Amino acid sequence: MRSKRLEILALAVAMPVALLAQPQSLLIDKVVAVVGREALLRSDVLGKLEQARQAGAPSDGLECAMLDELLYEKLLVEQGKLDSVNVDEAQVNSELDRRIRYFSQQIGGDRKLEEYYGKSIAEIKDDFRKQVHDQLLMQQVQQRITAEVSLTPRDVKRFFERIPEDSIPYVGTEVEFSVILRVPKASEDEVRRVRRKMEEYREAIVKKEKDFCVLAMAYSEDPGSAKDCGELGMVPPGVMVPEFDAVAMSLKDGEVSNVFSTQFGWHFMQMVERRGEQYNARHVLMIPKVSPADLLRERDRLDSVRTAVIAGTLDFGEAALAMSDDEESKGNRGLMVEPNANSTRWDLKAIDQQTFFVLDRLKPGEVSEPQVIINPDGSKAYRLLKLLSRSEPHRANLRDDYRLIHQAAEARKRQESVDRWVSERSATTYIRIDPDYQECPFTHPWNPPATGQRP
Range of the domain at 380: 173-185+291-392
Of 257, 286, 315, the last residue of a domain is: 286
- Same domain, residue pair 19 and 146: yes
Q: How far apart are CA 35 and CA 147, in angstroms?
A: 24
- Same domain, residue pair 197 and 91: no
Of 252, 286, 320, the last residue of a domain is: 286
For residue 10, the number of C-alpha atoms closer than 13 Å in the C-beta half-sphere is 6
- Same domain, residue pair 226 and 349: no
Q: Tell me what pLDDT residue 240 has.
A: 87
Task: Chunk the chain into consecutive blocks of 10 residues (it has 455) and report each block's average pLDDT, rounded to whole numbers.
Answer: 42 38 54 92 90 82 91 93 90 87 75 82 87 93 92 94 91 93 94 97 96 95 88 84 93 96 94 90 95 94 97 97 93 91 85 90 96 80 96 90 89 92 90 90 70 53
Number of domains in the chain: 3
CATH of the domain at 320: 3.10.50.40
- Same domain, residue pair 337 and 439: no
Q: Is residue 166 part of a domain?
A: no
CATH of the domain at 61: 1.10.4030.10
Q: Is residue 168 part of a domain?
A: no
395: helix, coil or strand?
Answer: strand
Neighbours of 340 (CB within 10 A): 6
Task: Dump the DSSP string for 117-177.
Answer: HTS-HHHHHHHHHHHHHHHHHHHHHHHHHTTT----HHHHHHHHHTS-GGGSPEE--EEEE
pTM of the full predicted structure? 0.60
Q: Tell me what pLDDT residue 21 has.
A: 39
- Same domain, residue pair 349 and 321: yes
Q: Is residue 274 part of a domain?
A: yes
- Same domain, residue pair 61 and 123: yes
Q: Is residue 422 part of a domain?
A: yes
- Same domain, residue pair 195 and 322: no
- Same domain, residue pair 32 and 111: yes
Of 237, 258, 286, the last residue of a domain is: 286
- Same domain, residue pair 260 and 305: no
Q: Is residue 163 part of a domain?
A: no
Q: Is residue 159 part of a domain?
A: no
- Same domain, residue pair 36 and 135: yes
Q: How far apart are CA 388 and CA 385, in angstroms?
A: 9
Q: Is residue 164 part of a domain?
A: no
Q: Is residue 158 part of a domain?
A: no
Q: Tell me what pLDDT residue 377 has.
A: 65
- Same domain, residue pair 225 and 198: yes
- Same domain, residue pair 72 and 139: yes
